[in-house]
């Protein structure tokens, strides 16, 4: 401490800190600096996630949308009772929820796989 109770000044130079840093990975630098290569990598990830979401949306639309169509085309199926309850109520009111949970679980699992693939591309060693 100085005579007046203050700490001595310390000089900080950014050039010294940057010189001590290891060289940046080119792929990570492309992402951080938003270069065209980094932009293409991110667009690829977004495109993969969107394609996955659209495919699973079609599964849900086909799976749940086909049931009312089935009941309209074959009214006898719609009048069938299962444990004293009409089959449409059982399928649409009860069994649709486990179906949606399963599709949601699959989406999360596959979306995480897409992100892991993206991370693997970013972290791959340069040849």
Residue 19 lies in a domain: no
Q: How confident is the model at residue 25, as a pLDDT?
A: 62
Tens of pLDDT, residue by residue over 80-120, are 887 887 877 888 888 889 999 999 999 999 999 998 988 88
Residue 8 lies in a domain: no
**Six-digit token pair at 91?**
């399928």
Residue 5 lies in a domain: no
Residue 62 lies in a domain: yes
Distance between CA atoms of 51 and 32, rounded to whole angstroms?
Answer: 25
pLDDT of 21 above 90: no
Q: Which domain holds residue 89?
A: 25-123
How many domains is the chain built from?
A: 1
Tens of pLDDT, residue by residue over 31-79, are 666 677 778 888 888 999 999 999 999 999 999 888 888 888 888 877 8
Q: Report the candidate in 50, 62, 65 with the shortest Cα–Cα distance to residue 110.
A: 50
pLDDT of 127 above 80: no
Handedness of CA 69, 71, 72, 77 (dihedral sign): positive
Residue 51 lies in a domain: yes
Averaged over 19-33, what is the pLDDT? Answer: 60
Residue 13 lies in a domain: no
Residues with Cβ within 8 Å of residue 107, at least 6 apart in sequence: 52, 53, 56
**Pairing mode, strands 85-86 and 81-82:** antiparallel
């Amino acid at each position: 401490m100085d005579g007046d109770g203050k700490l001595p000044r310390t000089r900080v130079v950014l050039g010294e800190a940057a010189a001590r840093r290891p060289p940046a990975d080119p792929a990570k630098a492309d992402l951080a600096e938003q270069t065209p290569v980094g932009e293409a990598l991110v667009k690829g990830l977004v495109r993969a996630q969107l394609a996955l979401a659209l495919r699973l949306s079609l599964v849900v639309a086909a799976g749940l949308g086909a049931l009312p169509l089935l009941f309209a085309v074959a009214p006898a199926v719609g009048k069938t009772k299962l444990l004293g309850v009409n089959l449409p109520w059982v399928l649409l009111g009860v069994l649709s929820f486990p179906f949606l949970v399963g599709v949601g679980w699959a989406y999360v699992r596959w979306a995480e796989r897409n992100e892991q693939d993206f991370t693997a591309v970013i972290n791959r060693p340069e040849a």
